[in-house]
């Protein structure tokens, strides 16, 4: 009786022993046999992914979600890319967020350009928020949140 290898025994007779994979040998394509075609046209120029004009990008008119303290302060939710008018509005929103979520959130010593907040006193709580000032505006933008 001929003893089969463990791959053939485990996966059946169509296992390619040479390539050590599950595909049958007739389905394995050698690299030199593959066609070198692309569904994309060749181009020497780079194209922008934005549909707007370059003037809009230079002016910084990208749209972000603006935090409205009058409406959103009652139940603040944070998202990456969200804008806050200044650091004190963001800090107040973080404090308001801590109450219903029952999180102990510490606001670290920050400058006016950055705000960092982290949940503490509980190993299960890994909530972190980092926001920094936009270069062209006085607003702060949420850069990282867990």
Domain boundaries, the chain: 62-145
- For residue 69, the tally of other CB atoms under 10 A from its CB is 15
At residue 55, the pLDDT reads 46
Residue 131: pLDDT above 90? yes
| pTM score of the predicted model | 0.55
Integer distance in angstroms from the first to the last C-alpha of the chain?
61
Of residues 136 and 18, the one with the higher pLDDT is 136
130 within 8 A of 115, measured Cβ to Cβ = yes
DSSP strand pairing (82-84 vs 105-107): unpaired
At residue 135, the pLDDT reads 81
At residue 91, the pLDDT reads 92
Average pLDDT over residues 82-93: 91
Residue 120: pLDDT above 80? yes
> What's the chain's average pLDDT?
72
Locate all alpha helices (DSSP H) within 16-129, ordered by sequence: 54-59, 69-72, 87-101
């Amino acid at each position: 009786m001929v003893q089969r290898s463990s791959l053939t025994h485990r996966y059946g007779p169509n296992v390619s022993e040479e390539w050590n994979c599950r595909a049958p040998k007739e389905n394995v394509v050698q690299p030199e046999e593959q066609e070198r075609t692309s569904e994309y046209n060749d181009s020497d120029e780079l194209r922008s992914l934005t549909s707007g004009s370059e003037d809009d990008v230079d002016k910084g008119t990208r749209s972000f979600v603006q935090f409205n303290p009058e409406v959103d302060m009652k139940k603040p939710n944070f998202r990456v890319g969200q804008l806050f008018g200044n650091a004190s509005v963001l800090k107040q929103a973080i404090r308001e967020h801590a109450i219903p979520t029952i999180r102990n959130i510490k606001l670290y010593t920050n400058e006016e350009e950055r705000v960092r907040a982290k949940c503490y006193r509980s190993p299960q709580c890994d909530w972190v928020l980092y926001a920094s000032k936009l270069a062209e505006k006085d607003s702060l933008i949420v850069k990282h949140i867990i």
